[in-house]
Structure 1
Amino acid sequence: MTASKPSTPPDLGDDAPDLSTEEWRKKFAAAPLRRGRPPAKRRKVSTTIRLDPDIVEAFRAAGEGWQSRINAALREYLEKRARS
């Protein structure tokens, strides 16, 4: 049987600053809070659309990003239509 390893790492010293000091509290309070993805300049609209099953299957079969590819196909259609 093998010897068990200690469950905690050895003491490596305390090089980390004390983040509970007044100096650090002020820095944290002044820092802007940024969460998530930055907002897009042009946000997409959530909608419900009914498509034929074979269309959805074909786009899904190509892998992730199938909704974006449908969006690109619709955009291409509109651009071709505007040129004619």
Structure 2
Amino acid sequence: MPDQPRRPRTLNDARSEAEAAFKRATTKVAAAPPKSTAIPGVREQVTLRIDQDVLEHFQAGGPGWQDRINDALRKAAGK
């Protein structure tokens, strides 16, 4: 059986392949499993909006102001 000549690619074929590749590259993966319970002593960086006067109160005590905020939040949370 003689080799069949290859059909030249058309714009539609190339476009379809490009769209399929784009879809594969941008498709979201399944959501990660939910986080397990927090490990004691491990901290997570977050962004938090608090009033300026509250921030100034904790910063006025010098270095360690983030730890003091964490302690105050822990106390308020009953931890």
TM-score of Structure 1 vs Structure 2, range by shorter chain: 0.3 to 0.5
Alignment TM-score, normalising by the size of structure 1: 0.45
Compare relative contact order (CA 8 Å, sep 6+) and give the higher one, 1 or 2: 2
